[in-house]
Structure 1
């Protein structure tokens, strides 16, 4: 087969990369040519393989094969389907004719899904969502030299061909601690949940404090029960001994902890992580007013969510943006990836990073996504940005 029939030539590659950039700009601008004007059906399934998106007319052997592994049945089906829908949107919106996308259900067994995906010739895996599923497929993908861009936030599964696109606590803790210290809040305390996330957040806080010159005066863990949370707050010690308190857990836990913290006599500034970004009730709580947390920008995500709602008739799960951004990444790299060959792994190490609905990101040497984050402040009835995210990694 002639090379010209297999892949767009160098003269076209810049055009393809520019198309992805223009896509993101159109999302932000609400481009009328891209936003459906009413509820629409999801793309119809192909005649041969359910779950395969075919937005272009290129023959099978002229497209890079990419698998998306998410739960499409069982208790996590809602979020899995939302990610799959977002992945389909990205492929259609970007005009990614050089990519063939196929969905595989991990609820029936992640290892089985990975084996099927590899047997069908996929050279890149996007997903899975759960860390246990990532562990299950890791040796299977490694044996075939197929990289995995997973949606998990468990950094312990990264490395050896596994790249994590999920939101991890390390950067959000570092960002919020640095911001607090810059504003004179240098005596820190923390409430962290037992488990992997809590351990990561604890380590991140200790490092961030050391790097900024802040002092961690108390750090208490809890098991998310009301009694345990109450005990942990009492063990923080003198309520006047710290001027900022990190609640390194989701917004629901923050809503439960904040009144107890105030009842203890503490007037400390409340700080949060990226987990707070998915809890709309925070802005309705008087006791949370004035709290800060660090997370990705919601600017482009709001545009994406509007498009998603118009297309599928309901709003997306917040993590669905990972499906969208991972496909944008695949489309961008497809310009340098000849169908049927191994994925060009070196492209994932691009220090300039990639752009997506959740802003700029790049993978560090451990395969973990680094992101640019903004600091948000909770107020009665809304959330405002008090420290914008850098435009790129050169601004950090």
Structure 2
């Protein structure tokens, strides 16, 4: 099942850090990186596509300019790396800039004969791309982390916060947690996190005692955490936001060195070393995809492009590995075999094991990490296969 991708990764790793995180709306968690010089280096030119029929034509739809241009370029660079690292000559990946309009980018990609679309990056662009792709029977593998856009022909590859919350909550329950509280931001992300926590607790006969919402970008999380502490009655608190706000909340929720309440977080905590420098955060848990292969990937990326990649760029790399795996039984010029994406055994990539359900939702094998004094440790390793 995993043999081909494992061999591909072995080649990649032979040639192949983490920074503060931000959230791209609908696009998942990414790391800050400086702009890449000569951003179009190594990218195919959509205006001068060759006419060969021996390769599978795959379109990459990402923004190459505007607010998320650096993120899109990082993903594009990662797809180029995957082709180089594997020595693959069966795919021709052409990049189309969605910054000028996702619908027009999709229209150009289909006119050029592409049979699979990798992207778009943003959830809000999925509908426009799908409107063009569905009549042509061309599936999408989107880099968004919003599972609400998943369909039988839209496969969500991003790291969904719902899965991170479920993994961590279940681990906490295994350690004895029974009564939970939550601090979640106002808005869609907070709604998703809270709903995932509720569902996880219901399936394990644990309970959500209370929760508080707060406004991002100000100190309202401190007030919300104070109200939560006064109320009491819980042994574990989910803080559904990034490291900076989590640290502010932790100072209100518990005393340094206190065992309870236990603190748990989401995938937004991944890679932020500031968590390990705060006494109240010691012992906190969160779930994220494994990082071992990412570190090697980041070193290789920097040597090639002179900058650190955005964390989300591994999705581009893994999407190529996935396409190569399926391309073994895919005749060029024919419809992409969408049914192969829902192989029960899943696939292996830089971010570990993953698989797509029939609904289009991408399921990730995540590890649980514990915040220590100056470092993170793995409290529960990610499964290596499904």
TM-score with structure 1 length normalisation?
0.86
Return closer, same or farther for 1:258/1:340 CA change in 2, 3 Å cut-off.
Answer: same
Q: Give the alignment of 1:77-226 within 5 angstroms.
A: 77-226=69-218
Q: Match for 2:276 among 273, 278, 283? A: 283
Partners of 1:239 and 1:267 within 8 A in 2: no
Offset of residue 336 of structure 1: 1.1
Indicate the residue corresponding to 1:246 in structure 2: 238
Indicate the residue corresponding to 1:311 in structure 2: 304
Whether 2:7 is the aligned partner of 1:22: answer yes
Indicate the residue corresponding to 1:9 in structure 2: none
Return closer, same or farther for 1:111/1:302 CA change in 2, 3 Å cut-off.
Answer: same
Q: Distance in 2 between matches of 1:157 and 1:174?
A: 20
Q: Distance in 2 between matches of 1:255 and 1:72?
A: 34
Partners of 2:75 and 2:314 within 8 A in 1: yes
Q: Note the aligned Cα RMSD (angstroms).
A: 2.6
Offset of residue 290 of structure 1: 1.5
SS of match in other structure, 1:65: strand
Return closer, same or farther for 1:235/1:93 CA change in 2, 3 Å cut-off.
Answer: same
Whether 2:366 is the aligned partner of 1:373: answer yes
Return closer, same or farther for 1:41/1:111 CA change in 2, 3 Å cut-off.
Answer: closer
Offset of residue 349 of structure 1: 1.1
Indicate the residue corresponding to 1:236 in structure 2: 228
Question: Deviations 1:297-338 (Å, cap 9, x if unpaired)?
Answer: 101111111111111111111101111111111111111111
Return closer, same or farther for 1:83/1:46 CA change in 2, 3 Å cut-off.
Answer: closer
Return closer, same or farther for 1:82/1:149 CA change in 2, 3 Å cut-off.
Answer: same
Identify unmatched segments of 5+ residues in structure 1.
Answer: 1-13
Return closer, same or farther for 1:43/1:94 CA change in 2, 3 Å cut-off.
Answer: farther
Indicate the residue corresponding to 1:64 in structure 2: 56
Q: After alignment, is 100-109 or 222-231 more displaced?
A: 222-231
Question: Deviations 1:114-164 (Å, cap 9, x if unpaired)?
Answer: 111111111100011111111221211112111000011112211141110
Q: After alignment, is 235-244 or 326-335 more displaced?
A: 235-244
Partners of 2:45 and 2:94 within 8 A in 1: no
Partners of 1:142 and 1:160 within 8 A in 2: no
Offset of residue 251 of structure 1: 2.1
Q: Distance in 1 between matches of 2:209 and 2:229?
A: 9
Identify unmatched segments of 5+ residues in structure 2.
Answer: 17-36
Q: Distance in 2 between matches of 1:110 and 1:337?
A: 27
Offset of residue 74 of structure 1: 0.9
Partners of 2:264 and 2:286 within 8 A in 1: yes
SS of match in other structure, 2:95: strand
What count of residue pairs does the alignment treat as equivalent? Answer: 366
Partners of 2:43 and 2:94 within 8 A in 1: no
Offset of residue 345 of structure 1: 0.8
Return closer, same or farther for 1:209/1:19 CA change in 2, 3 Å cut-off.
Answer: closer
SS of match in other structure, 2:208: strand
Partners of 2:140 and 2:154 within 8 A in 1: yes
Partners of 2:58 and 2:92 within 8 A in 1: yes
Question: Deviations 1:71-102 (Å, cap 9, x if unpaired)?
Answer: 10112111111111011111111222110001
Q: Distance in 1 between matches of 2:44 and 2:10?
A: 34
